[in-house]
Amino acid sequence: MEEPVIIRFEHISKSYGEFCVLHDFNLEVMRGEFLTVIGSSGSGKTTVLKMVNGLIIPDGGKLFVDGQDISGTNLIELRRKIGYVIQNIGLFPHMTVWKNIAYVPSLLNKQDKERTKKAVARLMDVVGLSGDLMRRYPSELSGGQQQRVGIARALASNPYILLMDEPFGAVDEITRKMLQEEISRIHKALNVTTIFVTHDIREALKLGTRVLVMDAGRIEQLGDPDEIIHHPATDFVARLTQSRGLE
């Protein structure tokens, strides 16, 4: 049987000079879960996320991804199996939507163009992009459409982990709601382990099967949305959940 824990932080620490971002940080992410990470700005959310794909290396402790200590793994290989979506997604501006999404599949199926075509069509369908957009350039898309292309590109290598860092931070409220529905649907359909960072408590509670609340590099609470709402572990969590609907 596959080990249920897919990512394990063990006594992880990280400092910049005198400033300690994470101190004795411990976390287990379960295979297939949708973990949302919420906390104040500077609390270490992005640091935690970027450690999973080796963009930030811990100073101390151990980090296991799929049973492997990542200090001993090839980070390029690791990243190939991990999708990464950020706010301003960095689509290739001189490439069409089709080429942006086809980039990874065409590397994988060098000899088989039909296979790439099929993969791109499937990915566009998965993220809810209509086929007639495929010849457009990123600058000819709305913010929400660009974000969908970014998600399609992140899914193109069939990742077993999807990391998302405030992916819907730059889109309007209506688009954000649609993208939230979309990412929930994608998660259910593909069952890909997802870590989703947000600073919006409503988004965290809506999307997460579990929610991790952080403040100043520490875990304030880790629990399902119901526990977070009804049994806040600290004043910080209580204040956070009370702020729902006040914005």
Ligand X SMILES: Nc1ncnc2c1ncn2[C@@H]1O[C@H](COP(=O)(O)OP(=O)(O)O)[C@@H](O)[C@H]1O
Which residue lies nearer to ligand X by CB, 87 or 96? 87
* Binder of residue 21, out of Mg ion, ligand X, none (CB less than 5 to 8 A by kind): ligand X
* Binder of residue 153, out of ligand X, Mg ion, none (CB less than 5 to 8 A by kind): none
**Which residue in the set 44, 159, 208, 223 belongs to the binding site for ligand X (CB under 6 A)?**
44
Shortest distance in whole angstroms from residue 107 CB to ligand X: 30
Shortest distance in whole angstroms from residue 82 CB to ligand X: 18
Which residue lies nearer to ligand X by CB, 37 or 207? 37
**Which residue in the set 46, 100, 145, 146 belongs to the binding site for Mg ion (CB under 5 A)?**
46
* Binder of residue 145, out of ligand X, Mg ion, none (CB less than 5 to 8 A by kind): none
Distances 186 to 9, 181, 192, 246 between C-alpha atoms, Å: 26, 9, 8, 30
d(CA 48, CA 120): 31
- Secondary structure element (H or E) that encloses residue 76, with its range: helix 75-80
Yes or no: say if 50 and 22 are a contact pair by the CB < 8 Å rule: no
Stretch that binds ligand X, among 37-45, 133-141, 172-180, 218-226 (CB under 6 A): 37-45
Which residue lies nearer to ligand X by CB, 44 or 167? 44
Shortest distance in whole angstroms from residue 217 CB to ligand X: 7
**Which residue in the set 4, 42, 90, 131 belongs to the binding site for ligand X (CB under 6 A)?**
42
Query: Which residue is associated with the tokens 């965290």?
Result: 204
* Binder of residue 54, out of ligand X, Mg ion, none (CB less than 5 to 8 A by kind): none
- Secondary structure element (H or E) that encloses residue 60, with its range: strand 60-65
Q: Is there binding between residue 139 and ligand X (CB under 6 A)?
A: no
Q: Is there binding between residue 36 and ligand X (CB under 6 A)?
A: no
Q: Is there binding between residue 45 and ligand X (CB under 6 A)?
A: yes
16 secondary structure, DSSP code: E
Distances 214 to 65, 204, 237 between C-alpha atoms, Å: 21, 12, 9
**Which residue in the set 6, 9, 35, 43 belongs to the binding site for ligand X (CB under 6 A)?**
43
Structure tokens at 105: 């599949």
- Residue 41 burial class via C-beta count within 10 angstroms: exposed 0-12, middle 13-18, buried 19 and up: exposed
Short-list 101, 99, 86, CA closest to 53: 86
d(CA 57, CA 65): 13
Binding interface with Mg ion (CB under 5 A)? 45-46
Binding site for ligand X (CB under 6 A): 16, 21, 39, 41-47
